[in-house]
């Protein structure tokens, strides 16, 4: 859609993921399509419950099934459909060619195992490397991400590391097999801004060295601005806007993006009343035929209740707002 | 300068670190708050920022008398809180209240909004059961909650609404000082804006003095009159919010401000970033001299020897760095303003 299919590393189309709960079927991801080129950095922004994490978990087939279910769609990674590939084939891709880092490094490290054993596991499994050699590479990987005294600390346990250091260990682990795609799910949200800046610089540098593509999931528009080339904005399980970072910030083409921008203190003059989006995000277990943002939108009109698709409104700039598509409003 | 309503005089909060069950050995002391002095005029909103572990939450809890101060004084409206007996302190508590990051953890899941608010109102003043619904209704209106929610339980609310209930509960006793510890950190951006607007409105309408603890500098800059930056238990910089943010004096503040991501790709790409190396040092064995010197890009040999004190620069902005004047040459103003040294807050609202 955005990148030409030949250069695309990952191409997702019409992904739908639902959760079957006691309170009905929650359509967490509802028809998401995007593609990602080799070496590209894509940001996915949205508030809690917008489906940004579920999208990426679905790609890695990490959704617990049941209650979750991938209803439809395809995700082609180098010609392999990640959603239907046999488990055996997927296992050779996950942790080797696609790696993932999560928000909370403490819950994704095993507290009973030394860093060494967890860090080099991908090398032992995917590359069948002799242990001694793998340990050497593990120490080098820790040094690369800026863990001081790596040769000694690799023998330590997760609780002996600070939050920022643990996230570095997670990054070292994710990158040790030189993946082609890194999926990062809010990896810096729990960290201090100073440590966040260190981690962002680190991933940027490693990305240039390895030429890998990155999907960065975040709710922080500031992180996106400095780090991503292209951005998807998600709301209620759908992509409502996609554009290059410059375009999205300079000329947003969806009222939701506009509203998000206006509610950030950093962009407003001091002491001014912040713009607030009225109401709450919709209940995803109820059918939402038209634009899901209608009840909270300052520009909504009666015809906004009819179904709307993501469409190109300017070159490489897609919006799912009917009124923008028809040229009725300028944001 | 307006008379100080809240005054901290050299407040220290130290925790012993011990090991062993039968024979406890003292291993050292964590100096979570180590000599903080501050004065807030009535109605001021002061932002307290710093990395995790810098002591900002401990300082908030020490002011609240939830953790006893090891030494120093906390004086609120002329009353020294650190000297009060238990019963006196209990009575005085209605003057200062606190709200926390996770409103769900601070609300009783078995109490409806009405019960939770009525309980808080009754601790403050006798209200007959007939008057109570009206008082609860007033309180809910004040924080922007619809009265139809009055019989609902905390789990039926979203995060932002729960924070409103927590704020209403804190306001039930008509406090003069409100300490807000990361009140919006757990909320989504659009909900954050609602709570920030609410706190700003309440502080204006009720003339509340507020300490706003946060690691998010852009939120603090938006709502606060002054900002105090903490590092390892000490205040390293203090000044008007816009000054601290736009013209940081202390090297630590400089790096903190430069690490805040700006939601604007063009500005973000042009800016110079000071990326600090490593984590804050352990508060059990802080470095000698200036506690920031091992991470400081401007450090010289003297920094490991001399413990810097807060010293005034201009416009009421002060920093604790022995090289403050040297490294801020371009900011030194030639004598044009007559307001050097005094504590000032920029206009309210």
Total number of domains in chain B? 2
Residue with tokens 């570095």: A168
Model confidence over A30-68: pLDDT tens digits? 999 999 999 899 999 988 889 998 999 999 888 888 888
Average pLDDT, chain B: 87
Q: Domain end: B224, B258, B282, which one?
A: B224
How, if at all, do strands A230-235 and A41-45 pair?
A: parallel
User: Do B62 and B193 lie in a common domain?
Assistant: yes
pLDDT above 80 (res B3) = no
**Does the beta-carbon distance from A226 to B219 stay under 8 Å?**
no
Q: Residues B211-223: what's their mean pLDDT? A: 89
Residue B342 pLDDT grade (very low, low, confident, very high; cuts 50, 70, 90): very low
- Asked if B213 and B260 sit in the same domain, the reply is no
In whole angstroms, give the CA distance from residue A232 to residue A243: 7
Q: pLDDT class for B319, splitting at 50, 70, 90?
A: very high
At A200 the three-state DSSP class reads helix
Cα maximum dimension of chain A:
68
CB A218 within 8 A of CB A30: no
- Using the Cβ of B261 and the Cβ atoms of chain A, whether some distance falls under 8 Å is answered with yes
- For residue B200, which residues of chain A lie inside 8 Å, CB to CB? 271, 273
Per-residue pLDDT at B321 exceeds 90: yes
Lowest mean pLDDT among A30-39, B57-66, B328-337: B328-337
Closest approach of chain B CAs to the CA of A262, in angstroms? 9
Let me know whether B195 and B311 are in one domain. Answer: no
**DSSP single-letter state for residue A137:** H
* pLDDT reading at B339 higher than 70: no
User: Of B224, B240, B258, which residue is a domain's last?
Assistant: B224
For residue A261, the chain B residues in CB contact (below 8 A) are 263
Q: Are residues B253 and B208 part of one domain?
A: no
Rounded mean pLDDT of B293-312? 92
Evaluate whether residue B236 is within a structural domain: no
Same domain, B294 and B183: no
Q: Does a structural domain hold residue B347?
A: yes
Q: Which helix (H) or strand (E) holds A209?
A: helix A193-210
3-state secondary structure chain B: CCCEEEEEEEEEEEEEEEECCCCCEEEEEEEEEEEEEEEEECCCEEEEECCCCCCHHHHHHHHCCCCCCCEEEEEECCEEHHHCCHHHHHHHHHHEEEECCCCCCCCCCCCCHHHHHHHHHHHHCCCCCCCHHHHHHHHHHHCCCCHHHCCCCHHHCCHHHHHHHHHHHHHCCCCCEEEEECCCCCCCHHHHHHHHHHHHHHHHHHCCEEEEECCCHHHHHHHCCEEEEEECCEEEEEEEHHHHHHCCCCHHHHHHHHHCCCCCHHHHHHCCCCCCCCCCCCCCCCCCCCCCHHHCCCCCHHHHCCCCCCEEEECCEEECCCCHHHHCHHHCCCCCCCCCCCCCCCCCC
- Which of B342, B319, B343 is closest to B331 using CA atoms? B319
Chain B residue whose CA is closest to A192: B51
Q: Does B311 touch chain A (CB under 8 A)?
A: no
pLDDT tens, residue by residue, B20-35:
777 777 778 888 999 9
Residues B69 and B189 both lie in one domain: yes
Domain span holding position B330: 248-349
Distance CA B87, CA A35 (A): 66
Backbone φ and ψ for A233, nearest 5 degrees, come out as -105, 125
Query: Is the pTM above the cut of 0.80?
Result: yes
Q: What CA–CA distances, in Å, run from A246 to A253, A265, B129? A: 12, 20, 59
Instruction: Retrieve residue B110's tokens.
Output: 């078995």
Residue B243 lies in a domain: no
Q: Is B329 exposed, middle or buried (0-12, 13-18, 19+ CB in 10 A)?
A: exposed
Which residues of A are less than 8 Å from B349 in CB distance?
271
Predicted confidence band of residue B331 (pLDDT cuts 50, 70, 90): low
Closest C-alpha to B181, from B325, B47, B89: B47
Q: What is the pLDDT, as a whole number, of residue B138?
A: 92
**Domain-located, residue B242:** no
The values of phi and psi at residue B224, to 5°, are -95, 150
| A244 three-state secondary structure | strand
Closest residue by Cα to residue B303 from B258, B257, B250, B341: B250
Q: Is residue B22 part of a domain?
A: yes
Judgement on whether residues B85 and B172 belong to the same structural domain of the protein? yes
Residue A269 is predicted with a pLDDT of 75
Q: Which residues contact A268 (CB under 8 A, 6 or more apart)?
A: A262, A274, A275, B222
At B93, list the tokens.
């508590």
Report the mean per-residue pLDDT for chain A: 88
The answer on pLDDT for B18 being more than 60 is yes
Same domain, B260 and B320: yes
Scored b (16 or more CB within 10 A) or e, B233-267 reads bbbbbbbbbbbbbebbbbbbbbbbbbbbbbbbbee
Q: Residues B188, B260: one domain?
A: no
Shared domain for B211 and B82, answered yes or no, is yes
Band (pLDDT 50/70/90 cuts) for residue B333 is low
**Amino acid B37: pLDDT:** 95
pLDDT of residue B335: 47
User: Mapping DSSP to helix (H, G, I), strand (E, B) and coil, where does residue A213 land?
Assistant: strand
Asked if the structure places residue B239 within a domain, the reply is: no
Give which of A168, A276, A279 to mutate to test B binding, by max B Cβ within 10 Å: A276
- B156, part of any domain: yes
What span, in angstroms and rounded, lies between the C-alpha atoms of A50 and B189? 13
Q: ipTM exceeding 0.90?
A: no
Beta strands in A104-260, from DSSP E residues, in sequence order: 181-185, 213-218, 230-235, 238-244
Same-domain pairing of B190 and B45: yes
- Cα–Cα separations (whole angstroms), residue A129 to A4, A126, A249, A273: 37, 8, 46, 59
Sheet of B209-213, strand order: B96-99, B177-181, B209-213, B45-49, B226-231, B234-240, B317-319, B311-314
Spans of chain A below 50 pLDDT: 1-6
Preceding peptide of A66 cis, ω within 30°: yes
List of chain A residues whose C-beta atoms are within 8 Å of the C-beta of residue B277: 146, 198
Distances from the Cα of A55 to the Cαs of A80, A187, B146, in angstroms?
A: 17, 16, 35
Residue where a domain stops, chosen among B224, B240, B263: B224
- Selecting from B221, B223, B260 the residue whose C-beta is nearest the C-beta of A193 gives B260
Sign of the CA dihedral running B334, B338, B339, B340: positive
Residues B115 and B17 in one domain: yes
Q: Which of A61-70, A315-324, B263-272, B274-283 has the highest mean pLDDT?
A: A315-324
* Exposed/middle/buried for residue A239 (C-beta within 10 Å: 0-12, 13-18, 19+): buried
Enumerate the residues of chain A whose CB falls inside 8 A of the CB of residue B244: none
Residues of chain A neighbouring B262 (CB-CB closer than 8 A): 222, 225-226, 266
* Burial (CB count within 10 angstroms: exposed 0-12, middle 13-18, buried 19+), residue A322: buried
CB contact at 8 A, B153 and B112: yes
CATH number of the domain bearing residue B9: 3.40.50.300
Is B241 within 8 Å of A277 when comparing Cβ atoms?
no
Of A223, A242, A257, the C-alpha closest to A3 is A242
User: Do the Cβ atoms of A265 and B273 come within 8 Å?
Assistant: no
Nearest CA among B112, B139, B172, B197 for reference residue A265: B197
- Residue-wise pLDDT tens digits, B164-187: 999 999 999 999 999 999 998 878
B149 assigned to some structural domain:
yes
Q: Per the CB < 8 Å rule, is B263 touching A194? A: no
**Residue B73 burial by CB count (10 A; 0-12/13-18/19+): exposed, middle or buried?**
middle
CA-nearest residue to A230 within chain B is: B265
* CA neighbor of B346 nearest in space, from B82, B26, B6, B47: B47
């Amino acid at each position: 859609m955005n990148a030409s299919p030949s250069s695309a590393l990952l191409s997702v189309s019409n992904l739908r993921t639902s959760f079957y709960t006691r309170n009905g079927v929650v359509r967490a991801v509802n028809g998401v399509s995007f593609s990602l080129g080799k070496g590209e950095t894509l940001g996915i922004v949205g508030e809690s419950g917008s489906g940004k994490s579920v999208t990426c978990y679905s790609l890695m087939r990490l959704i617990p099934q049941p209650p979750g279910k991938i209803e439809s769609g395809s995700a082609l990674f180098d010609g392999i459909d990640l959603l239907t590939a046999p488990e055996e084939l997927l296992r050779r891709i996950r942790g080797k060619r696609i790696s993932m880092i999560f928000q909370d490094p403490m819950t994704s490290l095993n507290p009973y195992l030394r860093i060494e054993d967890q860090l080099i596991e991908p090398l032992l499994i995917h590359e069948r490397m002799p242990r001694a050699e793998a340990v050497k590479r593990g120490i080098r990987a820790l040094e690369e991400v800026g863990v001081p005294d790596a040769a000694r600390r690799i023998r330590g346990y997760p609780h002996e590391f600070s939050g920022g250091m643990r996230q570095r260990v997670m990054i070292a682990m994710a990158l040790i097999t030189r993946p082609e795609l890194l999926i990062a799910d809010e990896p810096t949200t729990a960290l201090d801004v100073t440590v966040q800046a260190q981690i962002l610089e680190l991933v940027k540098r490693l990305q240039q060295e390895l030429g890998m593509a990155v999907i960065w999931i975040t709710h922080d528009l500031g992180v996106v601005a400095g780090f991503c080339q292209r951005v998807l904005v998600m709301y209620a399980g759908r992509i409502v806007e996609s554009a290059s970072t410059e375009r999205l910030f300079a000329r947003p083409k969806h009222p939701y993006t506009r509203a998000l921008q206006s509610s950030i203190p950093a962009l407003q003059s001091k002491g001014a009343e912040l713009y607030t989006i009225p109401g709450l995000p919709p209940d995803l277990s109820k059918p939402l035929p038209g634009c899901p943002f209608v009840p909270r939108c300052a520009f909504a009109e009666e015809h906004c209740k009819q179904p709307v698709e993501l469409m190109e409104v300017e070159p490489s700039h897609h919006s799912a707002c009917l009124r923008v598509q028809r040229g009725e409003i300028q944001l | 300068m307006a008379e100080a309503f809240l005054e901290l005089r050299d407040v220290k909060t130290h925790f012993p670190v011990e090991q062993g069950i039968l024979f406890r050995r003292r291993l050292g002391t964590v100096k979570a708050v180590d000599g903080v002095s501050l004065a807030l005029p009535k109605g001021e909103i002061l932002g307290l920022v710093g990395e995790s572990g810098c002591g900002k939450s401990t300082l908030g809890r020490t002011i609240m008398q939830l953790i006893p101060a090891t030494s120093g004084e906390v004086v609120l409206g002329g009353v020294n809180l650190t000297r009060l007996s238990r019963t006196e302190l209990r009575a005085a508590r209605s003057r200062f209240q606190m709200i926390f990051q996770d409103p769900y953890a601070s609300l009783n899941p078995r109490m409806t909004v009405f019960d939770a608010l009525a309980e808080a109102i009754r601790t403050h003043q006798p209200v007959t059961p007939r008057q109570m619904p009206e008082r609860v209704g007033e309180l809910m209106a004040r924080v922007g909650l619809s009265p139809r929610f009055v019989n609902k339980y905390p789990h039926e609310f979203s995060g932002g609404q729960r924070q409103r209930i927590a704020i209403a509960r804190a306001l039930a006793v008509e406090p003069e000082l409100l300490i807000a510890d990361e009140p919006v950190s757990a909320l989504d951006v659009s909900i954050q804006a609602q709570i920030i607007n609410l706190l700003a409105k309440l502080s204006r309408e009720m003339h509340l003095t507020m300490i706003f603890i946060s690691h998010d500098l852009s939120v603090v800059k938006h709502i606060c009159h002054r900002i105090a930056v903490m590092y390892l238990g000490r205040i390293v910089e203090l000044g008007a919010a816009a000054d601290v943010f736009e013209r940081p004096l202390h090297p630590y503040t400089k790096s903190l401000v430069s690490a805040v991501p700006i939601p604007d790709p063009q500005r973000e790409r042009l800016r110079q970033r000071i990326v600090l190396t490593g984590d804050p040092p352990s508060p059990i064995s802080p470095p000698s001299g200036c506690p920031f010197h091992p991470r400081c890009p401007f450090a010289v040999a003297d920094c490991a020897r001399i413990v810097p004190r807060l010293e005034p620069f201009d416009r009421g902005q002060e920093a604790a760095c022995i090289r403050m004047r040297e490294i801020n040459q371009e900011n030194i103003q030639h004598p044009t303003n007559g307001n050097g040294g005094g504590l000032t807050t920029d206009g309210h609202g």
